Amino acid sequence: MKARVHITLKNGVLDPQGRAIAHALDGLGFAGVNDVRQGKYIELDLAETDRKAAKTKVEAMCSKLLANTVIENYAIELVD
């Protein structure tokens, strides 16, 4: 089973990289981009076959290492 983890900055946390991307897009002539927030995508290949157990495990991984919950949110998607 695969777990797809999306890690995003919480609202209110400054994202200078997202801002730089927005500036670059503007410079390329892409108008109408109101805001850009940059995040991370992590794909895990798991030996676990039980969805519930996998979810619990990946949640623990996220809160312990993959995300810093002071500044980041995470979303987990499981794919068979």
Partner 1 sequence: MQAAVVVFPGSNREGDAARALEAAMGRAPAMVWHGDSDLPKVDLIVVPGGFSYGDYLRCGAIAAHSPVLREVKARAKAGVAVMGICNGFQILTEAGLLPGVLLRNAGLGFVCKNIGLKVETSQSLFTSGYSAGQTLSIPVAHHDGNYFADEATLDRLEDKGQVAFRYCNAEGGLSPEANPNGSARNIAGIFNDTKNVLGLMPHPENAVEPLQGSTDGKAMFKGIVEALS
| Residue placing its CB nearer to partner 1 in the complex, 54 or 62 | 62
What residue ranges bind partner 1 (CB under 8 A)?
13-14, 16-17, 20, 64-66, 68, 70-71
Q: Are 45 and 65 in contact (CB under 8 A)?
A: no
Structure tokens given for 11: 């609202």
Smallest gap, in angstroms, from Cβ of residue 20 to partner 1?
Answer: 6
How far is residue 78's CA from residue 80's CA, in Å, rounded to a whole number? 7
Min dist CB 75 to partner 1, Å, is 17
Least Cβ distance, residue 39 to partner 1 (angstroms): 12
